[in-house]
């Protein structure tokens, strides 16, 4: 969803971040500023002091603006739709009526300066219109001091586990029903809370950069999001930093070390075949004769995620809209996919995507736990892939294999396919470092001393990430 993407480009690559009230700070100077703002708001807006905690709301706002670079020139896209902050339509528990009041007051007082109005976001889908929130710059008179990153914590109103439901076409967080909470408390909710709290503590001590651009560690904080009012669907892990473009993610450095993004190739097709005893997968599921692989991949996953009803009606219209193919071409591609994968055709147009995400999220849970609890090494999950230091590629490959085997249990028939299906994505490093990565992926990495690693890493210095890569494919131009 648009509201979950923190990176936009404004004009000539001036950064715009979506405001998400996800953090607060224990910094004494910031707390004092939040208290002063509360008193100013009350004195200018009320004849009698209200029974509301505006200081906490101001603390979250100031911390979030600092974490997103608002005091260093980044622009902030802020939703001021009252319905997002109150009642059953509010986005999540961190969006409060006090937050809304504080934001509106900051705008009225000139602390947040409107730079751009609402923009229509082009969409390939007919009848779908999306908009950006208003874009604001931050008046440096609001708060001028630096915040120690160690004082920034996750907003306690924002749970590590979030259950979403769709209301009038918009996804909103809802309280976890008692029946769901009872069913999943010990197997999902409490283990997730414990792991993601430990993950925050680990990543808070990690220097994260994209090229030479410093990223506040709070942007790595994770939320596990489930769908459609049940903890049985979805469950993937989401953070702000993972919304960087894939090319920009190649520039991520953890504690100064270059990184590699390692992922399961075609994880959902692989899972489906492992879950279907009568079917076997001998080659790349997305290789459809006569079609570009990327186009076939998009179509395949549309067919997995789309609900075609009891008749499992054709996905050709959606495939056409999402790939740019004509309806006739989309129909042929859909049929070619069904022909190649007829052994698993019951999964297509049957709305099975969220069930598969629930499985791959359990795989990622085990990978995260291994890195956070056992290795105590930094990692950034990107759904079914993860970014780690080049030093940790072998550990990640082994963890991915082990986690997949553990979750899928006896359903795996070809362990070798899992290994072959794990691939890496990174910048073009020196031959020496590339060789270390290849050995790590192949399980043939020899024992190298720290001096050798340091020598190799010193020859792969941080590169400046091109500014345009910080954005999504959305361009917000000045008005």
For residue 473, what pLDDT is reported?
A: 33
Residues 132 and 231 in one domain: no
For residue 183, what pLDDT is reported?
A: 95
Residues 330 and 274 in one domain: no
For residue 422, what pLDDT is reported?
A: 81
Map residue 402 onto helix, strand or coil: helix
Residue 466's domain comprises 160-285+350-479
Q: Which of 93, 127, 158 is the last residue of a domain?
A: 158
Number of separate domains in the chain: 3
Lowest mean pLDDT, pick from 72-81, 119-128, 422-431: 119-128
Q: What is the mean pLDDT of residues 384-410?
A: 92
For residue 63, what pLDDT is reported?
A: 95
Residues 410 and 277 in one domain: yes
Report if residue 121 sits inside a domain. Answer: yes
271-310 confidence digits (pLDDT tens): 999 899 888 888 889 999 999 999 999 999 999 999 998 8
Task: Say how many Å lie between the first and final Cα of the chain, rounded.
Answer: 24
Give whichever of 94-103, 267-276, 404-413 has the largest mean pLDDT.
Answer: 94-103
118-130 confidence digits (pLDDT tens): 555 555 554 455 5
Nearest to 67 by CA among 248, 199, 240: 240
pLDDT cut 90: percent of the chain above it: 64
Residues 199 and 332 in one domain: no
Report if residue 345 sits inside a domain. Answer: no
For residue 145, what pLDDT is reported?
A: 82
Residues 405 and 320 in one domain: no
Report if residue 437 sits inside a domain. Answer: yes
Whether residue 439 has pLDDT greater than 80: yes
Whether residue 35 has pLDDT greater than 90: yes
β 161-167/223-226 pair status = parallel
Residues 131 and 185 in one domain: no
Pick the more confident residue, 42 or 11: 42
Report if residue 290 sits inside a domain. Answer: no
Residues 149 and 167 in one domain: no
Nearest to 3 by CA among 243, 288, 189: 243
Residues 150 and 165 in one domain: no
For residue 364, what pLDDT is reported?
A: 97
Pick the more confident residue, 27 or 169: 27
For residue 122, what pLDDT is reported?
A: 52
Give the integer Cα–Cα distance in Å for 136 and 346: 48
Residues 279 and 167 in one domain: yes
Residues 170 and 107 in one domain: no
Q: What is the mean pLDDT of residues 184-210?
A: 95
Residue 378 structure tokens: 């930094």
Give the integer Cα–Cα distance in Å for 422 and 119: 40
Report if residue 106 sits inside a domain. Answer: yes
For residue 416, what pLDDT is reported?
A: 55
300-351 confidence digits (pLDDT tens): 999 999 999 888 999 999 999 999 999 999 999 999 999 999 999 999 999 9
Q: What is the mean pLDDT of residues 390-400?
A: 95
Q: Which of 141, 158, 175 is the last residue of a domain?
A: 158
pTM for the model stands at 0.88
pLDDT cut 70: percent of the chain above it: 89
How far is Cα of residue 381 from the mean position of the Cα atoms in its chain? 8
For residue 121, list its beta bridge partners: 130
How far is Cα of residue 257 from the mean position of the Cα atoms in its chain? 22
For residue 4, what pLDDT is reported?
A: 38
Q: How far is CA 65 from CA 132, 290, 477, in A?
A: 18, 49, 21
For residue 62, what pLDDT is reported?
A: 97
DSSP alpha helix (H) spans, 209-312:
246-249, 267-274, 293-305
Residues 71 and 90 in one domain: yes
Q: Which of 117, 137, 158 is the last residue of a domain?
A: 158
Q: Using the structure block, give the residue that is written with the tokens 């939040």.
A: 34
Q: Give just the sign of the alpha carbon dihedral 180, 181, 187, 189.
A: positive
Q: What is the mean pLDDT of residues 33-44?
A: 96
For residue 478, what pLDDT is reported?
A: 33
Whether residue 6 has pLDDT greater than 50: no
Report if residue 133 sits inside a domain. Answer: yes
Residues 476 and 432 in one domain: yes
Please, which pLDDT band fits residue 387 given cuts at 50, 70 and 90?
very high
Whether residue 476 has pLDDT greater than 80: no
């Amino acid at each position: 969803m648009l509201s979950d993407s923190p990176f936009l480009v404004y004009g000539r690559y001036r950064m715009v971040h979506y405001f998400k009230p996800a953090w607060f700070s224990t910094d004494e100077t910031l707390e004092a500023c939040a208290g002063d703002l509360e008193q100013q708001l009350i004195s200018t807006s009320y004849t009698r002091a209200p029974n509301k905690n505006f200081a906490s709301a101001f603390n979250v706002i100031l911390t979030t603006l600092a974490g997103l670079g608002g005091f260093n020139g980044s622009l902030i896209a802020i939703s001021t739709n009252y319905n997002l902050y109150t009642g059953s339509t509010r986005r999540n528990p961190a969006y409060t009526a006090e937050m809304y009041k504080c934001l509106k007051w900051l705008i009225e007082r000139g602390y947040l300066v409107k730079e751009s109005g609402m923009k229509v976001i082009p969409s390939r889908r007919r009848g779908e219109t999306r908009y950006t929130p208003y874009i604001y710059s931050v008046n440096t008179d609001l708060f001028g001091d630096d915040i120690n990153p160690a004082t920034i914590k996750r907003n306690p109103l924002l749970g590590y586990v979030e259950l979403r439901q769709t209301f009038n076409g918009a996804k909103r967080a809802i309280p976890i029903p008692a029946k769901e909470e009872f069913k999943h408390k010990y197997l999902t909710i409490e283990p997730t809370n414990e792991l993601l709290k430990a993950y925050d503590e680990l990543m808070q001590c990690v220097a994260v950069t994209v090229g030479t651009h410093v990223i506040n560690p709070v942007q790595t904080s994770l939320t596990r999001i489930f769908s459609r009012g049940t903890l049985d669907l979805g469950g993937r892990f989401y953070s702000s930093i993972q919304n960087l473009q894939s090319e920009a993610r190649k520039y991520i450095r953890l504690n100064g070390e270059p990184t590699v993004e390692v992922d399961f190739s075609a994880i959902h097709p692989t899972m489906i075949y492992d879950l279907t005893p009568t079917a076997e997968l001998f080659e790349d599921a997305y290789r459809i004769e006569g079609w570009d692989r990327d186009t076939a991949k998009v179509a395949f996953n549309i067919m997995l995620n789309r609900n075609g009803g009891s008749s499992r009606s054709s996905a050709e219209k959606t495939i056409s809209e999402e790939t740019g193919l004509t309806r006739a071409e989309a129909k042929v591609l859909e049929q070619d996919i069904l022909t190649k994968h007829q052994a698993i055709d019951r999964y297509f147009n049957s709305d099975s995507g969220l069930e598969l995400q629930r499985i791959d999220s359990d795989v990622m849970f085990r990978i995260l736990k291994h890195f956070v609890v056992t290795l105590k090494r930094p990692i950034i999950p990107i759904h079914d892939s993860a970014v780690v230091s080049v030093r940790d590629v072998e550990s990640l490959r082994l963890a991915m294999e082990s986690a997949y085997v553990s979750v899928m249990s006896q359903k795996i028939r070809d362990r070798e396919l899992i290994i072959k299906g794990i691939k890496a994505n990174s910048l073009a490093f020196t031959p020496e470092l590339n060789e270390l990565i290849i050995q790590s992926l192949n399980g043939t990495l020899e024992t190298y001393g720290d001096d050798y690693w340091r020598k190799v890493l010193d020859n792969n210095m941080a590169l400046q990430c091109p500014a345009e890569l910080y954005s999504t494919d959305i361009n917000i131009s000045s008005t």
